[in-house]
Amino acid sequence: MNAAGTSQTRVFVAGHRGMVGSALVRKLSAAGHVDLLLRRRDQLDLTRQSDVEHFFAEQKIDQVYLAAATVGGILANDQYPADFIRDNLQIQVNVLEAARQAGVDRLLLLGSSCIYPRNAPQPMTEESLLTGVLELTNEPYAVAKIAGIKMCESYRRQYGCDFRSIMPTNLYGPNDNFDLETSHVLPALLRRFHDATADNASEVVVWGSGKPRREFLHVDDMADACLVLIGMNQQEFWDEVPVRNSQVNVGTGEDIAIADLAAMIARIVGFQGEIRFDPSKPDGTPRKLLDVSRIHSMGWKARIGLHEGIEQTYQWMLDSMDDVTVNQEKPET
């Protein structure tokens, strides 16, 4: 029996129209036995404390996935740093406090790998949190996410709340952003190779040397990891994580050079021309890979291979080309 007196678990997915939130809704709907509570931002603005408290008090929620956030690329992070830190802190403070007051059973907060120091040893373990200087371009956003982790830990310590947090690597998949100005490397390459093929272009120029290595996780694997983590009972979960730095990294544990990624995407899209690299453009950090030993020890591993995942995402992009919104910003990773 749940808090509302029915046999189904009442689950609130905050941010259900986003890339991660929509993947969670697909996964939860397929799993069944849940009563999904979904609210668009115009129905419930999570930065408004009294509205959030009222919603939680009324709805008898059992579980919360907090996938609502103000997110964006380098440009947006640079132009609107105050919005990034304020909105994300407000959303987290309001949702966690309302969840505590309403006696929610379990909450999962979504963070990002940008919480780790810019020069953290690779692969990045959960223990590297707060051991060094953050990447400056998205520091306000990262600080808000770190505050979210520390809120989960503090609410558990002081109030006994079962609030957990999960830190995904770069995500891709359905509902990704394919806008050339604002998208991340994987969807941007898909779009550029697609356009070049359509235009019969002889070459595609890729920024940088092609040598940096990055990790990519399909968003459906990410949603699967979220369900596994929230599904673990209290003892199972808290026996596996320390009191401090209790966040759980989620990724594939494998990285790929940008040059190899570009070649894979060119093959999938059917681009016949040449791929040229432009080393005069910045490479960024040489390697960015999460250590995923903790989630592996909990029995979860990524299942969707990169080639298969990109093929599926490309198909999604083609299917939605006519009506896809290609001008939304996505989080910096």
Write out the residues near ligand NAP by the rule CB under 6 A.
Answer: 15, 17-21, 40-41, 45-47, 67-71, 91, 110, 112, 168, 170-171, 330-331, 333
Amino acid symbol at 229: L
* Of 104 and 290, CB closest to ligand NAP: 290
Question: Nearest approach, Cβ of 166 to ligand NAP (angstroms)?
Answer: 9
Pairing of strands 287-288, 163-168: unpaired
Q: Tokens for 161?
A: 């709340």
Burial class (CB in 10 A: 0-12, 13-18, 19+), 203: exposed
The CA-based angle 48-51-52, given to 5 degrees, is 80
Question: Nearest approach, Cβ of 7 to ligand NAP (angstroms)?
Answer: 29
Question: Nearest approach, Cβ of 222 to ligand NAP (angstroms)?
Answer: 8
* Of 169 and 196, CB closest to ligand NAP: 169
- Determine the residue with CB nearest ligand NAP: 18
Maximum CA extent, the chain: 64
Place of tokens 């997915």: 13
What residue ranges in 88-225 does DSSP mark as E strands? 106-110, 163-168, 170-172, 203-207, 213-214, 216-218
Q: Decide: 62 and 69 in contact? Cβ < 8 Å.
A: no
Q: Decide: 108 and 226 in contact? Cβ < 8 Å.
A: yes
Residue 106's closest CA among 167, 168, 155, 47?
A: 155
* Of 168 and 212, CB closest to ligand NAP: 168
d(CA 64, CA 200): 48
Q: Tokens for 8?
A: 């189904």
- State the angle between helix axes of 306-319 and 185-198 in degrees (0 to 180), rounded to the nearest 10: 60
Question: Nearest approach, Cβ of 60 to ligand NAP (angstroms)?
Answer: 20
* Of 17 and 150, CB closest to ligand NAP: 17
Q: Is 155 a catalytic residue?
A: no
Q: Decide: 274 and 150 in contact? Cβ < 8 Å.
A: no
* Of 70 and 137, CB closest to ligand NAP: 70
Neighbours of 60 (CB within 10 A): 17
Question: Nearest approach, Cβ of 198 to ligand NAP (angstroms)?
Answer: 26
Place of tokens 């960015």: 288
Residue 325's Cα: distance from chain center in Å?
19
Question: Nearest approach, Cβ of 329 to ligand NAP (angstroms)?
Answer: 8
* Of 70 and 128, CB closest to ligand NAP: 70
Question: Nearest approach, Cβ of 170 to ligand NAP (angstroms)?
Answer: 5
Residue 13's closest CA among 191, 319, 266, 226?
A: 226
d(CA 244, CA 155): 12
User: Which of the following is catalytic: 141, 155, 172, 314?
Assistant: 141
* Of 191 and 271, CB closest to ligand NAP: 191
List active site positions.
141
